[in-house]
């Protein structure tokens, strides 16, 4: 490992220890905001500092083993040779892990997210596919122990959705799903197709990090038009008789958000305002995102079949992610929520590119 990187890691470890001391001080513990920020910083640095300490211990053991190679006893030399080989391999793996942990962290990675799915070209099949995608993300959220709640839905006439918006709450939700943004294409034979011809349809997926107070945009009450209406869909008599659903229009930008919940108009309004903040933030950051080649790949397309990040081919049981030329013949597993087989290679490719820039 380069001496400059070792020096940087030593400074990070020193700062980490300083934070640990601060967290034990009464004046810090009494300041909830300061204590929360320091606790978060401490938690974020814990894995890096542990890996660095493991590397230092292993490096010391390696140097000692190398010294034993000069021992006159052939059995000692044989044991030392084996230990050197093992420690060198472990040290190389630790260095790789340290480089990844040192990469600049996306500040949104630990955020909750808003998941938006919209049917694109393909008519009824696009709506049905939107329902398939929602089930896929719902099952994945269950596997990850995340909480998913539907905020708004516009059902399609023959099943599925024209549009559905959900909120996913859980640690690392944005980190795992941020590469899902884009156009998803499906190729299959519709049930109504009598001649067995394969149809191609598409849906767009958007993954938006839920904003925190520290980076929430300022929204003036005078810039909002808030309408209430009766929630649609299942929910019993209460839904049909109470104007609990909320529609908020942000007049300066024209952005409109809706949220439905049969139990609480207050909860709907809070969720809708949070979603509105996320939409406005996304709009304000769009120019910066477009300047970054990596981030451009995450842009949500128009829903046209020709714009796609991933194709789900039912006749072949195939899933293809076009950004990294990944093809898996595990369509049922992926749609059943086994998304890690797609997400992990995307993250590995992202880390590989970031490491190449880091090394440069």
Rounded distance, CA 316 to CA 329, Å?
8
Residues linked to residue 202 through DSSP beta bridges, in sequence order: 185
Rounded mean pLDDT, 299-304: 49
Q: How confident is the model at residue 132 (pLDDT cuts 50, 70, 90)?
A: very high
Model confidence at 347: pLDDT above 60:
yes
What is the average per-residue pLDDT within 290-317? 64
Q: pLDDT band at residue 301, thresholds of 50, 70 and 90?
A: low
Residue 130 DSSP label:
H
pTM of the model: 0.66
Mean of the pLDDT values across residues 89-117? 87
Residue 192 has pLDDT above 80, yes or no: no
- Token output for 253: 């930008």
- How many CB atoms neighbour CB 23 within 10 A? 15
Residue 238 confidence (pLDDT):
45
* 280: pLDDT strictly greater than 90: no
Mean pLDDT of the chain: 85
Any residues with CB less than 8 A from the CB of 25 and at least 6 apart, and which? none
Q: Sheet of 113-119: strands edge to edge?
A: 147-155, 161-169, 113-119, 199-209, 182-188, 310-313, 318-321, 326-328
* Span 103-124, average pLDDT: 88
Please state the rounded mean pLDDT for residues 260-266: 76
Band (pLDDT 50/70/90 cuts) for residue 86 is very high
CA distances from 298 to 120, 140, 209, 240, 304 (A): 17, 20, 13, 39, 15
For the chain, strand residue ranges (E) read: 113-119, 147-155, 161-169, 182-188, 199-209, 224-229, 245-250, 255-259, 310-313, 318-321, 326-328
Interatomic CA distance for residues 104 and 124, integer angstroms: 43
Per-residue confidence band for 239, with pLDDT thresholds at 50, 70 and 90: very low
User: Cα–Cα distances in Å, from 150 out to 63, 115, 196, 208?
Assistant: 57, 9, 34, 15
């Amino acid at each position: 490992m380069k001496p400059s990187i070792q020096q940087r890691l030593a400074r990070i470890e020193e700062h980490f220890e300083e934070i640990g001391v601060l967290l034990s001080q009464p004046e810090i513990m009494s300041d909830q905001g300061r204590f929360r920020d320091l606790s978060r910083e401490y938690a974020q640095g814990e894995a890096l500092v542990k890996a660095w300490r493991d590397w230092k211990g292993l490096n010391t053991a390696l140097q000692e083993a190398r010294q034993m190679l000069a021992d006159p006893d052939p059995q000692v030399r044989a044991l030392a040779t084996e230990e050197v080989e093992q420690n060198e391999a472990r040290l190389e793996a630790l260095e790789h892990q340290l480089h990844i942990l040192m990469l600049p962290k996306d500040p949104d990675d630990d955020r909750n997210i808003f998941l938006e799915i919209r049917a694109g070209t393909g008519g009824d099949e696009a709506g049905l596919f939107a329902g398939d995608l929602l089930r896929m993300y719902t099952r994945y959220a269950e596997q990850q122990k995340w909480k998913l709640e539907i905020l708004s839905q516009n059902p399609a006439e023959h099943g599925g959705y024209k549009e559905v918006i959900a909120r996913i709450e859980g640690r690392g939700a944005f980190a795992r799903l941020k590469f899902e943004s884009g156009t998803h294409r499906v190729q299959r034979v519709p049930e109504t197709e009598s001649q067995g011809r394969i149809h191609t349809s598409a849906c767009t997926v958007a993954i938006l990090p839920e904003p925190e107070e520290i980076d929430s945009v300022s929204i003036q009450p005078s810039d909002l038009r808030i309408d209430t209406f009766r929630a649609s869909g299942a929910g019993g008599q209460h839904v049909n008789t109470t104007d609990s659903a909320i529609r908020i229009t942000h007049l300066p930008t024209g952005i409109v958000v809706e949220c439905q919940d049969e139990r609480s108009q207050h909860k709907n309004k809070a969720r809708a305002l949070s979603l509105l903040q996320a939409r406005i933030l996304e709009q304000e950051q769009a120019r910066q995102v477009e300047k970054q080649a990596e981030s451009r790949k995450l842009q949500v397309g128009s829903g046209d079949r020709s714009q796609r990040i991933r194709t789900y081919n039912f006749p072949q049981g195939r899933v293809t992610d076009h950004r990294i030329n990944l093809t898996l013949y595990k369509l049922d597993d992926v749609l059943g929520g086994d998304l890690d087989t797609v997400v992990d290679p995307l993250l590995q490719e992202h880390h590989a590119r970031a490491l190449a820039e880091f090394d440069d």
